[in-house]
Every structure is written in structure tokens, then in C-alpha cells.
């Protein structure tokens, strides 16, 4: 029995580059997004996020390199790609004098959805984004958050497999952002692959399963969201509080070869280990074995925002 071929990635770019005159917006970007990912695309303004998304959406052609969406080349098979994706730019035009249902019906017609089917399709996407009660409203009467949800409904009208969302929570208040993120999680559960660029890094950390960090057109990290810290930091660190003077606990732990460095922070220790495979069990073993009561032991986890600042330090100066 022959081995089955590997599944086709949702997005695959190879040495993707884009230049605007003398400015290089993308430089040899090689990136993979698997089907079903809710993928965070992170970078400063001007890092190359929007350029990448516009290439994937077939609005820009690369200067060199290659990009494929679900196995189709974005240049050679552009028409096919457009039916597989839904692209929502940071700022998109809305016809403020149109009603919500008219707006969606118009785009349904653009995608050649039969008129007999469009009413149900429009109703379904409005329910999905929580705008059913606003279907008869003029778009100009909607709040910013509702207009963003309407923009998401528009890109869902033809049931695309891949969503490319450029800052979908931009300008939203906290409640509207939470509602938008909940909708994206539901779309992922429905089997959609989603690439979302955002500066709201704390939300991406809880929302996405994988991410990429890009700066000045170059890829800095790509992989699991939970592995981003290991990709840019050395070793591991643990917070420790013991039932003895901190200096005593420090002396006990420095005697272990696993310990690289210890800092005393008031009544706690921050213990650094070189090998990322080492967990905190040796700390508990050492202290308890010496008759010291262990009051706290937890790994120090840095947030996505701090990781981003570390890996891009100096790059935007």
C-alpha cells in the first residue's frame, strides 16, 4: 500500500519578494499556513503584512518567488484563487445609503450566486456575524463594530475556504473586539482557515494556534503560538518562593548543575536554566529534599507583546 501524498497547505510561499521601486517590501518570505489554522500575522506598520496579504489575494504580483493558495498559484491561477479566498482589508468601502441586505445581495450577485439562493445565503451570513436584527438598516446607521462585522459577512458570502483579514479589529472598542474574535473562533470551528494581521497582540495570543512575526519584509519566526517564546529566548526561567530566607534557597539551587543563574526579587527567586528540556521538578526536589517548604513554583511565561518587542528591537528605529 503506497503512502498517501501530504495534504496541500492552505498557503505556501517560497522566497516571496516584492519591491516598490527601490523599496523592498518583502524579502524571500517562505511561509506555510496549514488548513484549519487560525494564523496570526504580526509585524510593525510597514513590516510587509499587508503586502503579503494583497499578494495572496491576487491584488499584487510578486517581484520574485512564488505563492500558492490551496495548491493554486496566485499569479497563474488567479481566478481560481479568488473563488477560494475572502479578503477583508483594513479599510474597505461601504455604500452608506444602501441597506445591509442590499449590500450583501449585490456581492452575492457578483459571485454569481443564483438569485433564488441569495436570500438564504444573505440570511445565513448575517446570522453568523450577529447582524440579523440589522438587516433592514442603512449601513451608514451602523456603528464601526457593526460595519466591521458587515465587512466580514461580505467576504463570507461565497463560502470561501481561506479568510485573509487585515486588522479586522482596527478601531473597535473592547466589546466589539471581543465579539469579532468570538466570530473568528466560530469560523475556525466550521473549518475555515484564517490569517489575521493585528497589532492587538494579547488577543492573538489567546485566539491563534500558530503565528508568524515579520519585520522589514523578513520572516523572524513562524510556528506554534506556544512555541514563539522558545524561538526567541534561551532556556527557561521559574519563579520560586520558599519557606526559608531567599539567600539560603539560592545557595541550595546554585549547587545544582541545572541552574544557570538566580536573581533574588524581594521574597522570591527567579531561577534560570540553560536547557529548555529541564522543567521545574528539580527545584522542588532540591528544596523539599533539604527540608525547605516550597510555597510557590511556576514557570515565567512572557507574553506575545514582549516577545515581539524583543525580536524587533532596533529594527524599526
CB 194 within 8 Å of CB 204: no
In whole angstroms, how far apart are CA 139 and each of 155, 233, 269, 315?
16, 47, 56, 41
Query: 238 and 223 in one domain?
Result: no
197 and 241 share one domain = no
Contact 205, 242 (CB under 8 A): no
Q: Give strand pairing partners of 20.
A: 23
Q: What is the pLDDT of residues 260-271, one digit of tens each?
A: 899 998 899 999
Cα–Cα distance between 78 and 27 in angstroms, integer? 22
Which tens digits make up the pLDDT trace of 208-220? Answer: 999 998 888 999 8
| Residue 256 burial (CB count, 10 A) | 14
Q: What is the pLDDT of residue 316?
A: 43
pLDDT at site 317? 38
Q: Domain residues for 277?
A: 234-301
| Contact between residue 47 and residue 213 where contact means Cβ atoms under 8 Å apart | no
DSSP H or E stretch at residue 11:
strand 11-20
208 in any annotated domain: yes
Do 92 and 147 belong to one domain? yes
Residue 45 and residue 194 in one domain: yes
Q: What is the CATH number of the domain that holds 266?
A: 3.30.70.100
* Residue-level pLDDT at 158: 94
Asked if residue 97 and residue 150 are part of one domain, the reply reads yes
- 47 and 135 inside one domain: yes
Residues 168, 196, single domain; the answer is yes
Q: Tell me how far apart the alpha carbons of residues 190 and 204 are, in angstroms, rounded to a whole number.
A: 19
Residue 3 covered by a domain = no
Residues 99 and 41 in one domain: yes
Q: Is residue 4 part of a domain?
A: no
Q: What is the CA radius of gyration of the chain?
A: 24
Residue 163: beta bridge partners? 86, 194
Coil, strand, or helix at residue 133? helix
Same domain, 202 and 252: no
Q: How far apart are CA 26 and CA 217, in angstroms?
A: 4
End-of-domain residue from the set 166, 197, 229: 229
Question: In the 8-state DSSP scheme, what is residue 199?
Answer: S
The CB density around residue 79, as the number of other CB atoms within 10 Å, is: 9
Residue numbers in the chain where pLDDT is lower than 50: 1-2, 314-317
Q: Say whether both 135 and 280 belong to one domain.
A: no
Q: CATH no. for residue 191?
A: 3.40.50.300
Residue 307: inside a domain: no
pLDDT for 274 equals 82
209: exposed, middle or buried (C-beta count within 10 Å: 0-12, 13-18, 19+)?
A: middle
Q: Is there a single domain that holds both residue 51 and residue 107?
A: yes
pLDDT of residue 3: 61
Q: Is residue 112 part of a domain?
A: yes
Number of domains within the chain: 2
Measured distance CA(262)–CA(13) in Å, rounded? 43
pTM over 0.85: no
Q: Are residues 176 and 29 in the same domain?
A: yes
3-state secondary structure of 190: coil
In a domain, 312, yes or no: no
Where is the domain boundary, 184, 209, 229?
229
Amino acid at each position: 500500500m503506497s503512502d498517501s501524498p501530504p495534504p496541500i497547505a492552505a498557503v505556501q510561499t517560497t522566497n516571496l519578494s516584492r519591491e516598490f521601486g527601490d523599496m523592498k517590501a518583502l524579502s524571500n518570505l517562505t511561509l506555510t499556513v496549514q488548513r484549519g489554522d487560525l494564523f496570526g500575522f504580526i509585524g510593525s506598520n510597514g513590516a510587509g503584512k499587508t503586502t503579503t496579504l494583497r499578494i495572496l489575494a491576487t491584488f499584487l504580483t510578486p517581484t520574485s518567488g512564488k505563492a500558492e493558495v490551496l495548491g493554486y498559484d496566485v499569479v497563474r491561477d488567479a481566478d481560481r484563487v479568488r473563488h477560494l479566498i475572502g479578503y477583508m482589508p483594513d479599510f474597505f468601502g461601504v455604500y452608506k445609503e444602501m441597506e445591509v441586505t442590499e449590500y450583501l445581495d449585490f456581492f452575492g450577485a457578483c459571485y454569481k450566486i443564483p438569485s433564488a439562493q441569495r436570500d438564504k445565503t444573505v440570511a445565513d451570513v448575517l446570522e453568523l456575524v450577529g447582524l440579523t436584527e440589522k438587516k433592514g438598516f442603512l449601513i451608514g446607521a451602523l456603528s464601526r463594530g457593526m460595519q466591521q462585522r458587515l465587512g466580514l459577512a461580505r467576504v463570507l458570502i461565497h463560502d470561501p475556504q481561506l479568510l485573509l483579514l487585515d486588522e479586522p479589529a482596527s478601531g473597535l472598542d473592547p466589546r466589539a473586539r471581543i465579539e469579532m474574535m468570538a466570530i473568528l473562533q466560530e469560523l475556525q470551528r466550521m473549518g475555515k482557515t484564517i490569517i489575521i494581521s493585528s497589532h492587538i497582540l494579547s488577543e492573538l495570543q489567546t485566539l491563534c494556534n500558530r503565528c508568524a512575526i515579520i519585520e522589514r519584509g523578513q520572516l523572524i519566526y513562524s510556528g506554534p503560538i506556544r512555541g514563539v517564546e522558545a524561538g526567541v529566548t534561551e532556556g527557561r526561567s521559574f519563579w520560586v518562593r520558599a519557606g526559608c530566607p531567599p539567600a539560603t534557597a539560592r545557595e541550595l539551587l546554585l549547587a545544582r548543575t541545572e541552574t544557570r543563574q538566580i536573581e533574588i526579587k524581594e521574597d522570591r527567586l527567579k531561577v534560570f536554566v540553560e536547557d529548555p528540556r529541564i522543567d521545574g521538578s528539580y527545584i522542588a526536589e532540591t528544596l523539599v529534599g533539604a527540608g525547605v517548604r516550597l510555597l510557590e513554583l511556576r514557570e515565567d511565561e512572557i507574553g506575545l507583546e514582549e516577545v515581539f518587542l524583543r525580536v524587533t528591537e532596533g529594527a524599526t528605529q
